[in-house]
Amino acid sequence: MTPDELADRLDNAADNLGDVVARRVVHTAELGRGIIRANASGRPGPNVITGKYRSSWEVVGRAIPHGAQCTIGTNAPQGRRLEYGFVGPDSLGRVYNQPPFPHVGPAVPRMEAVLWEQMLGAVEEVLG
């Protein structure tokens, strides 16, 4: 490979890198949401009563230079209490001793591993 061919290949990779990384970051976030939802489907995570909490998890993505940023979260009021537990009185004076039912924390190592795999795949894809 000549230096000019290498330069062309690297220019092409730089032009495509942002789109490839963005696609793979969103894929990882969607997978992460699925893992969290699965973890929120019974012990050791929270039990499913109506399914509204489990379905409240969303992925919000936005483009950034050369990639994407994704947030996985819920606006459900019980989210923090389910993940971390709650001990003490609430705003109405009711006293709780609710244990944690972790479902997000256990998903993080798997999401991290998938993201590493996806970023290695992105490099291989753009450098082909």
Dist CA 11 CA 5 (whole Å): 10
Among 28, 125, 123, 17, residue whose Cα is nearest residue 64: 17
Among 27, 25, 50, 32, residue whose Cα is nearest residue 103: 32
Average pLDDT, the chain: 91
pLDDT given at position 15:
78
Query: Cβ-count burial of 60 within 10 angstroms (0-12 exposed, 13-18 middle, 19+ buried)?
Result: exposed
**For the chain, which residues make up each domain, given as ranges?**
3-127
> pLDDT tens across 61-85, in order?
988 887 889 999 999 999 999 999 9
| Residue 56 pLDDT greater than 90, yes or no | yes
Q: Which helix (H) or strand (E) holds 95?
A: strand 95-98
Of all residues in the chain, the percent with pLDDT exceeding 90 is 67
Global confidence as pTM: 0.84
Dist CA 3 CA 78 (whole Å): 58
Q: Tokens standing for 119?
A: 């970023």
pLDDT-based confidence at residue 128 (cuts at 50, 70, 90): confident
